[in-house]
Structure 1
Amino acid sequence: MKVGVIGLPQTGKKTLFQILTGSEVKERSGTPKAVPGTAEILDRRFDRLVSMYQPKKEARARVDLVLLPKIEKETIARGDLFRDIVDMDAICHVVRAFEDEAVYHAEGSVDPLRDAEIVNQELLLHDQIFVEKRIARIREMIKKIKDEDQVKELALMERMLAHLEEEKPLRLMEISSDDEVLIRSYPFITRKQMILAINVGEDDLGDDTILDRFNTLCTSQSMEAMVVSAKVESEIALLDSEEERAAFLEDLGIGEAALGVLTRLCLKALGLISFFTVGQDEVRQWLVRKGAAAPRAAGVIHSDLERGFIRAEVLKYDDLMELGSEDAVKKAGKFYVQGKDYPVVDGDILNIRFKV
């Protein structure tokens, strides 16, 4: 599951990607290429569990990120950008909202709302062109041999075209499971979930009105939005201890580093949730599809656990934090034993019983 990081030139997307992944992206000559990386999920629940259990080992979950070539006329004309985006499962679009005379802007001025709409229009146009070509092709095929599936697909494509012509992304369109089979292999971009990361200057951190300006766009395009300052986040990343980072954030009047919010939004866009396994040997965070049953979560840990699944012993994170220990949770009657049909909930602490 991969999240593609996109944006116009000079938006700060490379800086943000480097902070998230801890990797350095070097400039290369020739055709720009996608750069893969992984980012740890920053989750305070994990931190508190580590503090409670003091394990010998700890392991955060990670999400795959890919820094895609900047969006400019050359990459659009070559089609490289769209080929890369098609391979992603979700998109993080970084828009520039910071002023800096030393950093040029491709459009000549800083206007994040305009820039977000420019990129959205390019993605909508990509899907619209594909649908138009597909409609023309199906009509030609039907003239030769009338096939029931082709007739169904033509009706679907015509609905999709009407939807796109209203400048609405395909992720807003209801598609039946039968229709899903017809288009599963097609390179639609606007069906993917999108996060809008608004990259601001330090002075604008904590300004609640920034997100308000994007409400209409985000609602109409079904996007999540957040405010981040790549410059500030890069300064936070240089601090040695968690205490120093917390103090720095407090001085800025920020409760949490934006990267924690961003990684969790990535999970949401991918349709993933976190669950935990705990103990004195190890505290680990795992990822599983939202709505997955307990055996599937067990399989994320190890295939033997899914194959030989008997039951899942479940603690709720909030109960554990409130009561202070596993024994206290059990005494309060909040220790649950669940079977194979139990849908794992975000934040569950699981112990899998199995036999192979």
Structure 2
Amino acid sequence: MLTPMIVGLIGLGLSGKTTVFNAVTRGDAEVGSFQSQKDAFHRGRVLVPDARVDFLTEMSESANVVYAEVEYFDVAGFSGEKDSASESDIPQVLRESDALAHVVRAFANDSVAHPKGSINIRRDIEALDEELVFTDLILVERRLDRVEKQAKVVKDDKVRHEAEILKKVKDILEQNTPLRAVTLPPEEEKLIRGFRFLSEKPMLIIINIGEDQIDKIDAIKAEFADLKGKPNLDLAVICGKIEMELAQLPDDDRQSFMADMGLKESALDVVIRKSYSLLGLISFLTTGDKETRAWTIKRGSTAQSAAGAIHADFERGFIRAEIVAYEDMKRCGSYPEVKKHGLMRLEGKTYIVQDGDVVVFRFNV
């Protein structure tokens, strides 16, 4: 995946979405700025922290280092009212996202009233999901109407087939079921891919708690553990306010404050790790004196396919891949030691690349 993974941050108004955006991007976007700019969005690109890349860079004394990247978009809050949903109101950046992160308000603040009048996490999750489903339904109905009219005029099997699949999708959405919760045959999934349905995208639920709830993180995770059992859905619990403050500190100070607060991972680490998992992504690594780099690919990719992430010529002229498991490389500390202990493997086109594999591709074009 040569382009960064894109995650769209969504949520009801006043959920702390922009605060979470600042926390994961170390940004300084103005909180509450969307109240008067409904079509605006914040954009931030961050490097994916990876201790494996750090080690290999030092080991190889690389002149350059390239981490994987993630791009975040923070858009105006949703209403949570499906009857007011409009497909035209959806920012295009959300359609282009690989995954969505729904920031749900759990913190209390008397000076910032919840748009629905009270804190209710499950209600807000369901309300936004209903709005996404309804927005997709509008899109399907519009397209289906055109396709059915076309089918009456033109006797085309492709048009008729598309109408059948759209009717199937319409039936699913009318049951108030997000498309991420169903598995369609590959052929049907491919046909609807171009619509970029919002309810089809993997979803990370981010429960945004207050400072006084830090000691309740485990209890909150347990309360909503059932969400993690749903298809293409995962859960994270963070305190956006504290995380935004921590994000502005130097690394050493940040680690010290996290330890004092009892936080094991930063918001950035949590969101990236869970987003990668939801999307089925892994990283393989290349290293040398010129450059150490993390390459993001789909889990289950073959060695030949992974080679194409670097360059099409690598895939087209693939001969073999020299593979070293990262843990073996770390333990040995150098390529000569790896070879000495017989830990480098030669793999062919069909080898399934594993997360953390250190790879050298041999090719000829």
* Normalised-by-shorter TM-score class: 0.7 to 0.9
Please name the residue that 2:8 is paired with: 4
Deviation of the 1:272 alpha carbon: 2.5
Rounded to whole Å, the distance in 2 between the matches of 1:229 and 1:120 is 22
Q: Are the aligned partners of 1:68 and 1:81 in contact in 2 as well (CA < 8 Å)?
A: no
Equivalent positions of 1:156-167 (< 5 A) are 156-167=165-176
Residue correspondence of structure 1 range 206-355 to structure 2 within 5 A: 207-220=217-230, 222-241=232-251, 243-355=252-364
CA contact (8 A) 1:42 1:264 kept: no
Post-superposition offset of 1:35:
2.8
190-199 vs 247-256, which moves further: 247-256
In structure 2, the residue matched to 1:97 is: 106
Q: For 2:318 and 2:37, how far apart are their aligned partners in 1?
A: 52
Percent of aligned pairs with the same amino acid: 36
Q: In structure 2, the residue corresponding to 1:190 is in which secondary structure?
A: helix
**Would the aligned equivalents of 2:24 and 2:247 in 1 still touch at CA under 8 Å?**
no
Choose 156-165 or 71-80, whichever is displaced more: 71-80
Decide which of 156, 177, 184 is 1:175's aligned counterpart: 184
Whole-angstrom distance in 2 between the partners of 1:203 and 1:54: 45
Inter-CA distance 311–222: structure 2 relative to 1 (3 Å threshold): closer
Confirm whether residue 204 of structure 1 aligns to residue 208 of structure 2: no
Q: Paired residue for 1:21? A: 25
Matched residue type, 2:356: G
CA distance in 1, matches of 2:179, 2:223: 23
Rate the CA distance shift 1:52–1:135 in 2: closer, same or farther, 3 A: same
Change (3 A) 1:119 1:103: same
Candidates 66, 81, 91, aligned match of 1:59: 66
Cα distance, 1:4–1:234 mapped onto 2, change above 3 Å: same
1:205 aligns to what SS in structure 2?
Answer: helix
Which of 93, 101, 116 lines up with 1:107 in the alignment?
Answer: 116
CA offset at residue 9 of structure 1? 1.5
How far, CA to CA, are the matches of 1:301 and 1:5 in structure 2?
29
Q: Which deviates further from its counterpart, 345-354 or 68-77? A: 68-77
Stretch deviating more after TM superposition (77-86 or 58-67): 77-86
**Any stretches of 5+ residues in structure 2 without a counterpart?**
none
Cα gap change, 1:318 to 1:81, in 2 (>3 Å)? same
C-alpha root-mean-square deviation of aligned residues, in Å? Answer: 2.9
Letter in 1 for 2:236: M
1:260 Cα deviation after fit: 0.7
- In structure 1, the partner of 2:40 is 33
Q: 1:124 touches 1:164 (CA, 8 Å); kept in 2? A: yes
Q: CA deviation at 1:179?
A: 2.3
Q: Distance in 2 between matches of 1:227 and 1:157?
A: 36
1:186 aligns with 2:195: yes
> Does the C-alpha gap of structure 1 residues 210 and 50 become closer, same or farther in structure 2, counting only changes over 3 Å?
farther
CA contact (8 A) 2:8 2:100 kept: yes
TM-score, reference length from structure 2: 0.85
Q: CA deviation at 1:44?
A: 3.5
Q: Which runs of 5+ in 1 are unaligned?
A: none
Equivalent residue letter for 1:229:
C
Residues 5, 93 of structure 1: 8 Å contact kept: yes
Q: Displacement, 1:121?
A: 0.6
Per the alignment, in what secondary structure is the counterpart of residue 128 of structure 1? helix
Worse overlay, 159-168 or 341-350: 159-168
In the alignment, the residues of structure 2 paired with residue 130 and residue 103 of structure 1 have an alpha-carbon distance, to the nearest angstrom, of 34
- Contact conserved, 2:227 with 2:235, CA < 8 A, in 1? no
Superposition TM-score, scaled by structure 1 size? 0.87
Number of residue-to-residue matches in the alignment: 355
Q: CA deviation at 1:146?
A: 4.4
Aligned letter for 2:23? I
